[in-house]
């Protein structure tokens, strides 16, 4: 052992870090130097309102579908855990059905079959562009909820019987056992998986363009075809999504650290 492992380690980290940064920069330079398309940032600037509009819509859809999916997932978990067999089978069947379909298919069927029913769209006041977005948010929530509910169910099932015994032994009733002992532990165990699913939700919202919702990806595509634009559209697209997904991931990591209870 060296006398000052800390300093040596720091040196190693710095050296490796420098190497990695150099490598990535070189790679980028090589890739972009070989492209024949020209950068057209001035055109992107002219279309800024259009692009920002799409980005904002994606942000809004995500912000609403996030709690929406949690709500539906909660119902699905409750449904799959009830003592009433028919209800739990029905719920699990529904979850498998949704998980077995590509989101694209679900969105198309949902929008052109279910929400196309006059009675349905009138009941939910879904005519007009806002209605389209509401339907999109609902479909995205349901799709994500199917995955969330499976993650949560796995977490709840992973809590050892001993914890349930202890909770009953201190006198908690059924609801309290769940609320104070099972759920908080399960939630902490599945937090990373949940965060991943939320990030996926944001990215999946790009598929809502198939029913004509002008979200961010749709906006970038129309920008490209209108301006015969170059790759700057795609670059902005990548950065735009990261601006939404990275904070979600960061928040989840913070929660994980904050509520860690295993050493």
Partner 1 sequence: MDISAAALTKRYGPLAALDALDLEVQGARVMALIGPSGGGKSTLLRAIGGLELPTSGALAVNGVDPSGKDGGLSWRRRNGFLFQQFNLFPHLTAYRNVTLPLEKVHGHAPEKAKSLADESIERFGLAAHAHKLPAQLSGGQQQRVGLARAIAHRPEILILDEPTSALDPEMTAEVLELIGELATGGQRIILSTHEMGFARAVADQIALIAAGKVAEHGTAAGVLESPREEITQRFLSKVMRFA
Which residues make up the interface to partner 1 (CB under 8 A)? Answer: 160, 162-163, 165-173, 176, 180-181, 184-185, 188, 259, 261-263
Q: Which C-beta is closer to partner 1: that of 87 or that of 187?
A: 187
> What is the closest distance, in whole angstroms, from the C-beta atom of residue 82 to partner 1 in the complex?
18
Closest contact distance (angstroms) between CB of 186 and partner 1 is 10
Decide whether 161 or 225 has the Cβ nearer to partner 1: 161
Q: What is the nearest approach in angstroms of partner 1 to the Cβ of residue 260? A: 9
Q: CB nearer to partner 1: give 6 or 160.
A: 160
Q: Which is nearer to partner 1, 168 or 203 (CB)?
A: 168
> From residue 262, how far is each of 104, 189, 259 by CA, in Å?
40, 10, 9
Nearer to partner 1, 6 or 162 (CB): 162
What CA–CA distance (Å, rounded) separates 210 from 246? 25
Residue in 227, 239, 251 with CA at minimum distance from that of residue 39: 227
CB of 129 to partner 1, least distance (A): 45
HSE-CB of 43 using CA atoms within 13 angstroms: 16
Tell me how far, at minimum, the Cβ of 162 lies from partner 1, in Å. 4
For 260, left (φ over 0), alpha (ψ -120 to 50), or beta? beta
> Mind giving me the DSSP string for 11-78?
HHHHHHHHHHHHHHHHHHHHHHHT--SPP-HHHHHHTHHHHHHHHHHHHHHHHHHHHHHHHHHHHHHH
């Amino acid at each position: 052992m060296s006398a000052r492992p800390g300093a040596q380690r720091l040196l190693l980290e710095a050296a490796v870090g420098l190497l990695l940064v150099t490598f990535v920069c070189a790679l980028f330079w090589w890739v972009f130097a070989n492209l024949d398309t020209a950068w057209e940032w001035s055109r992107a600037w002219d279309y800024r309102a259009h692009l920002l509009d799409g980005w904002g819509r994606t942000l809004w859809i995500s912000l609403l579908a996030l709690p929406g999916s949690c709500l539906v997932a909660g119902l699905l978990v409750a449904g799959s855990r009830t003592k009433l067999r028919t209800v739990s089978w029905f719920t699990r069947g529904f979850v498998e059905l949704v998980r077995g379909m590509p989101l694209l298919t679900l969105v198309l069927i949902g929008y052109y079959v279910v929400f196309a029913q006059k009675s349905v769209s009138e009941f939910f006041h879904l005519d007009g562009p806002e209605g389209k977005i509401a339907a999109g948010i609902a479909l995205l929530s349901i799709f994500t909820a199917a995955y969330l509910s499976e993650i949560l169910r796995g977490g709840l099932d992973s809590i050892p019987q001993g914890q349930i015994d202890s909770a009953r032994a201190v006198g908690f009733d059924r609801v309290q056992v769940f609320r104070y002992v099972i759920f908080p532990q399960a939630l902490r165990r599945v937090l990373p998986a949940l965060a991943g699913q939320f990030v996926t939700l944001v990215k999946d919202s790009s598929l809502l363009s198939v029913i004509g919702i002008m979200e961010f990806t749709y906006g970038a595509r129309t920008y490209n075809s209108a301006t015969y634009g170059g790759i700057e559209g795609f670059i902005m697209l990548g950065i735009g999504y990261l601006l939404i997904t990275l904070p979600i991931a960061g928040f989840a990591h913070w929660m994980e650290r904050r509520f860690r209870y295993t050493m």
